[in-house]
C-alpha cells in the first residue's frame, strides 16, 4: 500500500511537471501568417511590406502572455522566416505558453551583382543594420499599438518582451536594444540613422515606446561598440557563440575575418563581461568548435543545448509558481542540465538553498529511492549516477522545503 501511494505521488509529480508553463510544451499552436507590421523603402527605393508570423498557444486561459520576437540571420543580404528553421524555434516557444513573432526585415539587394559587393562601401553596411533595427522596432511598436487600439488581439503583456536573434538577427537585436543615443554613435551609424528616419525610423506605428524589453538572446551576435551598453542596464542577456567563428567575431575583430574596412565588432566574449560589469544579470555559453551560426539546425549538440538554456533563462525571468494536482500545494522546482542525461548532470541549486545542507534523492517509477546524497556549501551539485534508461524524480530536501524536478536518463 505504501508503494502504491508513493507511485501515485510520482505519477502526480510527473503530471505536474508536464504542466509547468514556460518550461514544457503544453499547447498546440495557432499561426497568424503574413501579418503586416509596417512598410518602408528598401535600398532600391521600392516600398516594401514588412511581414511577420505570429504564433499563439491554443486554448490558453491566461489573460496576458509574454512575447518573444525572433529575428533571422542572413548577413543582411538574405534570409527569411525559415532561415535556420527559426520558425520551428518560434513554434517551440509558443507551445510553452509564449506568444511569438517571427519577423522579416529589409535586406540589402541589387539586381546585377551580389549585394555583398555593396558592402565595399562601409556606409551601406551600417545602413543595412539601421534598416533592420528600424524594422524590429516597428514590429515591437505594432504589438504596442495593437494592445492600445485593437483590444490586444494576441493577449500580449507588453511589459514582458523578449528578443531572440541569430547571426545578423542577433546583431540587429543588440543594436536595437542598446544603440539608443545619437551622441554615442560612431560616424557611420550617425549618418545612416540621420538619413533614414532617426533612432526610431519610419517603418510604421509611430508614437509607441520600446519599453518592456526584459531580455535578449543572442546567437552569434556582435555589436559595434561596447559603450552602447552603458544604457538599458535592466535588460538581461543570454549569449551563445562558436569559438572560433570566422563570420562574426567571437571576441573582437572583423566580419568574415577580412572585412576590416567595416570596423571592429565585439562578439559575445566581450559583450558578456561588459554587461556583467554593468551589474546586469547575464549568461554566456561558448561552443568551442568552428562554426556559424551557433544555433545552426544541423548542429545536433549545440542547438538542443541552446533551446534548453533559453527555456531555463526565460523561465527564471517569468518566475512562475507551479501548482501540483496534490491538494493544490505549491511545488518549487530547480534546474538540472543536461536533461536527458547519460547519468552525468549538474543541479543548479535554488538561491534559497545555496550554501545550506541539503539532501538530493532520486526516485524511480515504482517509488523506490535509487540514489541519495548529502551536500552543503554549494551553488551547483555535479552528479554521476549509474541508472537505467527511464524517467526519474529528483528531490532536493532542506529543512521543511522540498524542490522537485524531472530527470530523463537516456544512455
Q: What is the pLDDT of residues 94-127, one digit of tens each?
A: 999 999 999 999 999 876 667 778 899 999 999 9
The pLDDT value recorded for residue 360 is: 92
* Assigned architecture for domain 21-318: 3-Layer(aba) Sandwich (3.40)
Distance from C-alpha of 366 to C-alpha of 396, rounded to nearest angstrom: 19
User: Looking at residues 353-377, what average pLDDT do you find?
Assistant: 85
Helix intervals (H) in 198-349: 268-277, 302-318
* DSSP state for residue 329 in the 8-state scheme: P
Q: Could you give the CA distance from residue 221 to residue 224 in angstroms, rounded to a whole number? A: 10
pTM of the predicted protein model:
0.76
Instruction: Over range 45-61, report the average pLDDT.
Output: 95
| Cβ within 8 Å of residue 242, ≥6 positions away | 220, 250, 286, 287, 289, 290, 291, 292, 293, 294, 302
Architecture per CATH, domain 332-409, reads as Sandwich (2.60)
> What are the boundaries of each domain within the chain?
21-318, 332-409
Residue pLDDT, tens place only, 302-337: 999 999 999 999 999 997 433 333 233 345 778 888
Q: How many CB atoms lie within 10 A of CB 134?
A: 28
User: Checking DSSP bridges between strand 401-409 and strand 390-398, what pairing results, if any?
Assistant: antiparallel
Q: What percent of the chain has pLDDT over 90?
A: 72
Sign of the C-alpha dihedral computed for residues 180, 184, 189 and 193 taken in this order: positive
Amino acid at each position: 500500500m505504501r508503494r502504491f501511494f508513493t507511485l501515485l505521488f510520482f505519477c502526480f509529480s510527473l503530471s505536474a511537471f508536464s504542466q509547468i508553463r514556460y518550461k514544457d510544451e503544453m499547447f498546440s499552436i495557432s499561426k497568424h501568417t503574413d501579418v503586416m507590421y509596417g512598410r518602408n523603402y528598401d535600398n532600391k527605393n521600392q516600398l516594401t511590406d514588412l511581414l511577420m508570423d505570429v504564433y499563439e498557444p491554443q486554448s490558453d486561459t491566461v489573460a496576458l502572455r509574454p512575447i518573444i520576437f525572433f529575428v533571422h540571420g542572413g548577413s543582411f543580404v538574405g534570409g527569411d522566416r525559415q532561415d535556420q528553421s527559426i520558425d520551428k524555434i518560434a513554434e517551440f516557444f509558443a507551445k510553452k505558453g509564449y506568444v511569438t513573432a517571427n519577423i522579416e526585415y529589409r535586406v540589402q539587394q541589387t539586381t546585377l551583382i551580389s549585394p555583398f559587393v555593396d558592402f565595399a562601401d562601409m556606409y551601406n553596411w551600417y545602413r543595412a543594420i539601421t534598416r533592420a533595427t528600424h524594422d524590429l522596432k516597428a514590429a515591437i511598436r505594432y504589438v504596442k499599438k495593437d494592445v492600445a487600439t485593437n483590444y490586444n488581439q494576441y493577449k500580449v503583456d507588453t511589459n514582458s518582451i523578449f528578443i531572440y536573434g541569430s547571426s545578423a538577427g542577433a546583431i540587429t537585436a543588440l543594436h536595437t536594444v542598446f544603440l539608443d543615443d545619437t551622441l554615442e554613435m560612431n560616424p557611420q551609424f550617425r549618418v545612416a540613422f540621420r538619413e533614414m528616419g532617426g533612432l526610431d525610423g519610419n517603418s510604421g506605428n509611430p508614437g509607441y515606446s520600446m519599453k518592456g524589453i526584459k531580455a535578449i538572446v543572442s546567437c552569434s551576435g556582435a555589436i559595434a561598440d561596447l559603450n552602447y551598453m552603458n544604457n538599458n542596464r535592466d535588460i538581461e542577456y543570454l549569449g551563445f557563440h562558436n569559438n572560433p567563428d570566422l563570420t562574426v567575431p567571437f571576441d573582437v575583430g572583423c566580419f568574415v575575418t577580412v572585412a576590416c574596412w567595416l570596423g571592429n565588432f565585439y562578439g559575445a566574449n566581450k559583450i558578456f563581461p561588459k554587461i556583467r560589469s554593468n551589474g546586469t544579470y547575464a549568461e554566456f555559453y561558448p561552443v568551442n568548435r568552428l562554426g556559424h551560426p551557433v544555433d545552426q539546425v544541423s548542429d545536433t549538440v549545440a542547438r538542443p543545448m541552446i533551446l534548453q538554456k533559453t527555456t531555463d533563462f526565460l523561465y527564471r525571468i517569468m518566475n512562475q509558481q507551479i501548482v501540483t494536482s496534490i491538494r493544490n500545494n505549491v511545488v518549487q522546482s530547480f534546474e538540472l542540465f543536461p536533461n536527458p542525461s547519460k547519468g552525468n548532470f549538474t543541479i543548479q541549486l535554488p538561491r534559497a538553498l545555496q550554501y545550506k545542507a541539503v539532501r538530493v534523492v532520486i526516485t524511480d517509477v515504482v517509488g523506490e529511492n535509487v540514489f541519495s546524497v548529502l551536500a552543503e556549501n554549494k551553488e551547483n551539485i555535479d552528479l554521476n549516477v549509474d541508472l537505467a534508461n527511464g524517467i526519474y524524480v529528483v528531490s532536493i530536501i532542506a529543512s521543511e522545503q522540498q524542490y522537485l524536478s524531472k530527470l530523463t536518463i537516456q544512455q
